[in-house]
């Protein structure tokens, strides 16, 4: 894992600089997510191990899947990855690229754990409060966690805001036992 991150980092940084110059940070995020998603399919990974299937054929397949045309930056990236046998690093490239993008845009990933599904309206009401608490813009990912009983628990990086009923019950239990 660490080796693939080391290999993926220069590609992600170069792509990020290109995307900044083009003013296309979001588009490149989508492109990389698509390619990374395609590369995570077990059937495609099995093709890589087939002796009769070349990297050039895989590059052509990825160009078709992504709609990349010859001469475009995306097709050039796919060709470069084929030439250097770096397709396996695409998921890490996408992750590193998104981290760079989030830093520039001042946005962080927020994992919001909740006992019940949140409606769009509830999430829209909750998000500004969490952004104020964490002092940054957040990109929310909601995770169902019935063990919380109610309320929410937000995780942003290494910071946690636990407003769940489970946390309150645990705090009461601790207070009663002392």
Query: Where is the domain boundary, 57, 76, 102?
Result: 102
Model confidence pLDDT, tens digit, residues 103-145: 888 889 899 999 999 999 999 999 999 999 999 999 999 999 9
Same domain? 69 vs 136: no
**Structural domain boundaries, residue 45:** 2-102
- Residue 5: pLDDT band (50, 70, 90) is confident
CATH for 129:
3.40.30
Q: How many domains does the chain have?
A: 2
Strand partners of residue 143? 113
Same domain? 119 vs 134: yes
Q: Answer yes or no: is pLDDT of 146 > 80.
A: yes
Same domain? 94 vs 112: no
Q: Answer yes or no: is pLDDT of 2 > 70.
A: no
Model confidence pLDDT, tens digit, residues 34-87: 889 888 888 877 777 777 778 888 888 888 878 888 888 889 999 999 899 898
Beta carbons of 143 and 113 less than 8 angstroms apart: yes
* CB environment 44-74: b (16+ within 10 A), e (fewer): eeeeeeeeeeebeebbbebbeebebeeeeeb
Q: What is the pLDDT of residue 166?
A: 94
Same domain? 138 vs 90: no
| Helix-strand-coil split of the chain, %, nearest 5 | 65, 15, 20
Same domain? 151 vs 75: no
Q: Answer yes or no: is pLDDT of 1 > 60.
A: no
Beta carbons of 148 and 115 less than 8 angstroms apart: yes
Beta carbons of 48 and 39 less than 8 angstroms apart: no
Please state the pTM of the whole predicted model: 0.67
CA separation for the pair 154, 27 (Å, rounded)? 28
Query: Where is the domain boundary, 68, 102, 136?
Result: 102
- Residue 28: pLDDT band (50, 70, 90) is very high
């Amino acid at each position: 894992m660490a080796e693939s991150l080391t290999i993926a980092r220069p590609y992600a940084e170069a792509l990020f600089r290109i995307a900044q110059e083009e003013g296309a940070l979001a588009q490149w995020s989508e492109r990389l997510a698509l390619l990374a998603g395609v590369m995570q399919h077990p059937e495609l990974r099995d093709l890589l191990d087939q002796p009769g299937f070349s990297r050039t054929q895989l590059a052509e397949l990825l160009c078709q899947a992504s709609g990349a045309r010859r001469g475009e930056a995306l097709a050039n990236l796919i060709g470069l990855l084929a030439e250097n046998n770096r397709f396996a690093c695409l998921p890490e490239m996408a992750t590193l690229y998104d981290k760079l993008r989030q830093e520039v845009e001042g946005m962080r990933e927020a994992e919001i754990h909740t006992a019940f599904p949140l409606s769009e309206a509830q999430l829209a009401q909750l998000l500004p409060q969490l952004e104020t608490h964490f002092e940054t813009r957040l990109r929310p990912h909601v995770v169902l966690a019935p063990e919380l009983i109610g309320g929410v628990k937000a995780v942003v990086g290494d910071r946690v805001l636990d407003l769940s009923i489970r946390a309150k019950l645990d705090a009461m239990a601790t207070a009663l036992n002392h």
